[in-house]
Structure 1
């Protein structure tokens, strides 16, 4: 009898392949195909050898990717053939730490159906256990201290597994095999309920007692995966109002948590795509269209037609929702724009004046994490805030380059670290005004550098000299003697869109947002450029108009409206403003006019965001704001569902080779409609149509000039559903290929990706010496 030919394959698998059940999957696959060998985790990959007949090995190799665990993400499989060496069986070997290697790390995963069933099964040993998890779900990035992903390198090292949990952990056929957070009521983390002064609250079941307190109208701080959430009864206007007062959040909408999809469909219109987002392992907050009758307190999302909704994503949330029996507000555990509270003592100190009670636990959180926010619009998911469930999964860059640190913007800050062709955009950090946020920035940056073994060779920042992030970058570059690349704000927006779409060619870039420092020292924000990752040329913009009081005008859009009307119509503009802005007295109007005449703290701006603000004020929709972009958001809500093709007139002039979008006729049209008492929704829809018309006409003109038929849309204004949807449709109908954001936000939360992509491209193109001398 002829002996069977045997062969051995050495295989390496890269991607998200740790913490997702990949090694037990390989073990079971090898057993099924009667192959021998071994598999192990390393700091850079999953490595394995399998031995058997050549045909069987090829079948195994194909199944390795085709049947991979659902939460894994394979980026590369490399294999090489070796002579057989006679392995006796197949085993899972201990992990190998490699100092300079890194691999992708799984974000935290929503609780799976199997674990959810266990916590509601009285016969199961994990009945009502709020820290139940397995290989397919539970905390990942928030508990990892270093790689490879093994329990001693997580915050779970503080808990010694009991014999039952240890048996599960060591059984390759068990779904808890090497589930690093594996625990049970005997050996794992525990909850405790305390009052705001830290004193214990009596009761055998902390979750049931907490749910009872919520039903009584109390506000609770609940420690979750990445930090604390503030919870209260979402159906009580009095309770919601009290939370707003204590949290100092007068109007910005709150997210709500609902127990299941049936509850979501009672209050919202939900598409199949939105259902998929809600029930995915990332479990983000999803913005959904509200029904006419919701049962929610009006103060949850005042004046809005969309509601941020999430389903329970941890066992604790499921238990709390089941016991409370009503929709709950679930909002970030912070005061105003501070970072989310993470640790127990920190929460008691920072949230003690907000929450009545605290539901604490003793599983430490290593990385602070907010909830992600997503909408589905124009055929795709659109990231609005990228955090839990998505970060730190990287965006793939079009090409490899040297390691870069990009420090992002002043508001909605994220940073981005690159290694090879991976761009690791951090979770949402927040607004860089507070000391706490800057500490969060530095702490999270240190974690990313350690996890992904990145020692940056270049630092990139915004062009604005007064951004906290830019000043930090200057100091760090100087201290480390590193090149510093200053990237213009709107070029970074367009570059971020190009990077996530893998586009390296030149495009027409539309960057519409609120504020960005221009190369001429003015405030840009309504920009049309030709751009690639290496550079840009400004081709058109909204005309410069005054912003009386600077930041004061941002917070009081009526000041922007007055400045615009006065510049465009003179004294007659003040009379028009008096007619529209009835809450503003004549003396203040004249004061704003004098301020504009003398250019006292009155920068000039081409901002699209400020145009939205001015129009919202003139229409009587919002004259002062209580949260960022409130006027523009409410203007968008006014236009919701209005079907009209009407537009306001505008002009495109050319000066010095630059196309200037003149707004006098547009604003005259708004004033005429207001005088004729045209309904606000009709006016709002007409204004949105006009901005889309501007986008289309300018792009068509630039295509004639340049021959470019690709367009990239970026900037915070493109978080406006109607503007995004109609701009895409209008441009595509005219033969343009349109690139948009999906993986990172169109607002400043995506800016760091663009900064990193520009810096990396400049280095590849010019070299470090030229870059250090020239900057951008």
Structure 2
């Protein structure tokens, strides 16, 4: 006789409280939870509060609900943790979305996101009430960080507070089954913001060769036709931007492929919700060389705001013969911060733009476009701003709250809260009053939206940095961090490395602990302790900061340090300044010393015959990198003694001028890679150290970074590159904060371990 099978029993009802932390407000998380709970026949509630999202669910499928949250979460949600607590069942019958609760903030808002496919479809659908509306958005896209003044992220706390919703938008806003449920920027032509000029007028001005200042998500762009040489020349002249490359805006990936050769990884980055500027290889001859003079790669971004798509559609209607390509550069005249205010735009951009287009939705927080490239198979920041701020860097452990004020170039600030570090958007050079005001704004806003009261300030060692003055003005205990230590510490922090690491700080110029200029350093970092193990051979820096603008000065200094001043007249017979400097150096003129790799790049570019001066930071190095077809190594091109790496033989080879520019560039990069690899291999031999951190502005050189990372792997070492913060000074604030936390926590632990008196 076969026994009867046991009948399955229905799971007993359970009640669970789930605390969800991360970027979970303003991304459609509550309606997602609502729909998921209803589909599982669960009762309970969901609400936003200062810590994130709080959920209570009750029913037989409660366990399955908790397991389904992560894999099914909305596309813009970022879940850091889900804490689960068992409660006694209450016998509820329905699931509700409750009102937000206030309190001390422990959550965060999401970054701004590009228009989603559904909103894009509505934008061109004549049957939609959002047809042609330049501010269409939903919970899956649109502005977040740049319109938010405070948390919790509710409409009243954003710049949409002054736009009461019409009946249709209000119905969408309260309908949990609508993708605009609690989408704080939701609006339509009947109730939302409007433009100062029509889209057809904007398109017409661009096609006529004019320059348009266009208010966007995080600030104003300056737009012009990227095919029009005269328009580009006018933009360069009016903005005072002689040769620095411009970014392009294109409408879709198909158009990107017409003008460039993006890899699959670059296309994925372009099409991501952040929609950053991405460096890709350009197709030769299709666009004016004046867009990115002397470079092979161009910065490209996709249209990310509804208004951008409307402009491209209208340009195509007015000029259907070829796909549109727009120069889209930040509207920041004279090196000042990005313009974001309507009145400010009328005042500061009237001499640049032929048409200034504003709208009446305020930008609460300005943010430039982010810029990235793919290095060694993964994205790496050049500039971190819109689309990524305020996403945090997880430091792995809790610690004191720090405010780090960064560097004076490419400034960002960083605020830590618990185990998270929040880098601000790109601020820029602190060389004018507007930039310093912007830095103050960024500090105040970060502390406000994070509800943080910093306990300590962190800053650079340099006695004259404006960022140091800012740290002093905060009236907090200050921890200083040497510039290149901060570069290494930033990468160490984002990868959460423990134990000793060897760091290469490959950079421009920074103030060293001995008062000299550093920039090509080998550092040993172990928690709060660090040591300088070696450096590039220091060279004279004639003219100080002028040497960064006039690379010929470093070339003459290199020849002087090599006993070859007689070559100056051969190399530059018509350059009076070079011959005069050579004469002064020959008579014993003293100059400060620097171990900077950036200045070594400058010397190489000049000795090889590439350029004598540069109009923007890093120009000579970028153009030298662009000349590389294939790397090669010069036998005897470097030497290592007493921890110092000396590339003078390599540079003297370039000074012979017997190589083509392509050969010289390949030889320089290849020999640098070989020299740094041997330097590191010697330092790590027998120590057990296998973690090698690469930081500093020169790590943005893709040829150098990829070649060095691969060579280190072949030596059995594990290289770590900057990923979550820029390798340049835009990541310094993160490193300063990490250094300060290590020092403070180390001192605290030492105090706790001290014996007490009986």
Match of 1:735?
Answer: 716
- Distance in 2 separating the partners of 1:444 and 1:218: 33
Indicate if the aligned counterparts of 2:490 and 2:732 stay in contact, CA closer than 8 A: yes
Q: Tell me, yes or no, if the aligned pair for 1:653 and 1:661 is still in contact at 8 Å.
A: yes
1:62 aligns with 67
TM-score, normalization: structure 1?
0.93
2:56 to 27, 49, 56: 49
Note closer, same or farther for the CA distance 1:381–1:66 as it changes in structure 2 (3 Å cut): same
User: Partner of 1:698: helix, strand, or coil?
Assistant: helix
- Partner-residue secondary structure (3-state), 2:627: helix
Shift of 1:769: 11
**Counterpart pick for 1:720 among 701, 714, 730:** 701
| Counterpart in the other structure of 1:247 | 239
Q: What residue number does 2:319 align with?
A: none
Post-superposition offset of 1:768: 10
Find 1:299's aligned residue among 290, 293, 300: 290
CA distance in 2, matches of 1:128, 1:387: 28
Q: SS of the residue aligned with 2:419? A: strand
Q: Check if 1:577 corresponds to 2:577.
A: no
Q: 1:702 to 1:65 in 2, by over 3 A?
A: same
- Kindly report which structure 2 residues correspond to 1:460-539, keeping only aligned pairs within 5 A, or say none: 460-476=458-474, 480=475, 482-539=476-533
CA distance in 2, matches of 1:620, 1:634: 12
Query: Hey, what's the Cα distance between the residues in 2 that align with 1:267 and 1:330?
Result: 15
CA distance in 1, matches of 2:548, 2:587: 19
Q: For the aligned residues, what is the CA RMSD? A: 1.7
Structure 2: which 5+ runs fail to align? 1-6, 317-323, 753-758
Paired with 1:649 and 1:270, the residues of 2 have a C-alpha distance of: 35
CA contact (8 A) 1:102 1:147 kept: no
Give 1:169 deviation, angstroms. 0.5
Name whichever of 706-715 and 88-97 sits farther off.
706-715
Please state if 1:613 is matched with 2:602: yes
Note the 1:16-95 alignment, pairs <5 A: 16-53=23-60, 56-95=61-100
Query: Partners of 2:374 and 2:10 in 1: how far apart?
Result: 59
User: Secondary structure of the equivalent of 2:299?
Assistant: strand
> How far is the alpha carbon of 1:535 from its aligned partner?
2.7
Contact 2:133 2:188 survives alignment (8 Å) = yes
Cα distance between partner residues in 2 of 1:567 and 1:525: 18
TM-fit CA distance, 1:575: 2.4
Number of residues of Structure 1 aligned to a counterpart in Structure 2: 738
Query: Which residue does 1:198 correspond to in 2?
Result: none
1:646 Cα offset (Å) = 4.4
CA distance in structure 2 between the partners assigned to 1:553 and 1:167 by the alignment: 63
How far apart are residue 671 of structure 1 and its match?
2.2
Q: Is the contact between residue 105 and residue 449 of structure 2 (CA under 8 Å) also seen in structure 1?
A: no
Q: Which residue of 2 aligns with 1:136?
A: 140
Change (3 A) 1:770 1:333: farther
Residue range with higher mean Cα deviation, 465-474 or 240-249? 465-474
What is the CA-CA distance between 1:678 and the residue it aligns to? 1.5
Aligned pairs for 1:263-282 (under 5 A) are: 263-282=255-274
Is the Cα contact below 8 Å between 2:568 and 2:582 reproduced in 1?
A: no
- SS of structure 2 residue aligned to 1:492: helix
Answer yes or no: is the 8 Å Cα contact 1:497–1:740 preserved in 2.
yes
CA contact under 8 A between 1:498 and 1:712: conserved in structure 2? yes
Q: What's the CA shift string for 1:17-44, capped at 9, x where partnerless?
A: 0011000000000110011111100011
SS at match of 2:606: helix
Structure 1 residue 661 and structure 2 residue 645: aligned? yes
SS at match of 2:467: helix
Show the counterpart of 2:178.
Answer: 174
Tell me what 2:638 maps to.
650
The answer to whether 1:458 aligns with 2:456 is yes
- Note if 1:119 corresponds to 2:108: no
Q: 2:213 matched to 1:221?
A: yes
CA contact (8 A) 2:572 2:578 kept: no
Pick which of 575-584 and 105-114 moved more. 575-584
Distance in 2 between residues matched to 1:155 and 1:596, nearest whole Å = 63
Is the partner of 1:158 in helix, strand or coil?
Answer: coil
Aligned 1:233-382 pairs, distance under 5 A? 233-294=225-286, 296-325=287-316, 326-382=324-380
Separation of aligned partners in 1, 2:400 and 2:587: 49
Change in Cα spacing, 1:192 to 1:770, as seen in structure 2 (3 Å) is farther
Measured after TM superposition, the shift of residue 148 of structure 1 is: 0.8
Secondary structure of the structure 2 residue equivalent to 1:578: helix
Q: Is the 8 A contact 2:274 2:386 kept in 1?
A: yes
Say whether the 8 Å CA contact 1:267–1:293 is kept in structure 2: no
What SS does structure 1 have at the residue aligned with 2:196? strand
1:168/1:177 contact within 8 Å kept: yes
Name the CA distance, whole Å, in 2 between partners of 1:314 and 1:47: 32
> CA separation of 1:162/1:603 partners in 2, compared to 1, >3 Å: closer, same or farther?
same
Q: What residue in structure 1 maps to residue 613 of structure 2?
A: 624
CA-to-aligned-CA distance 1:149-207 (integer Å, 9 cap, x gap): 111111101001110111101100000000000000000000012xxxxxxxxxxxx11
Retained in 2: the 8 A contact 1:613–1:632? yes
C-alpha deviation, 1:398, in angstroms? 2.8
Stretch deviating more after TM superposition (395-404 or 172-181): 395-404
Q: 2:222 aligns with which of 222, 226, 230?
A: 230
Q: What residue in structure 2 maps to residue 757 of structure 1? A: 738
Q: Is the CA contact (8 Å cut-off) linking 1:237 and 1:298 kept in structure 2? A: no
Q: How far off is 1:553 after superposition? A: 1.2
Q: Which of 527, 539, 553 is the aligned partner of 1:545?
A: 539
SS at match of 2:565: helix
Counterpart Cα distance in 1 of 2:224 and 2:186: 30
Gapped runs of 5+ residues in structure 1?
194-205, 772-776
Counterpart secondary structure, 2:457 = strand
Compute the displacement of 1:111 (Å): 0.3
Q: Is the 8 A contact 2:106 2:451 kept in 1?
A: yes
Q: Taking structure 2 as the reference length, what is the TM-score of the superposition?
A: 0.95
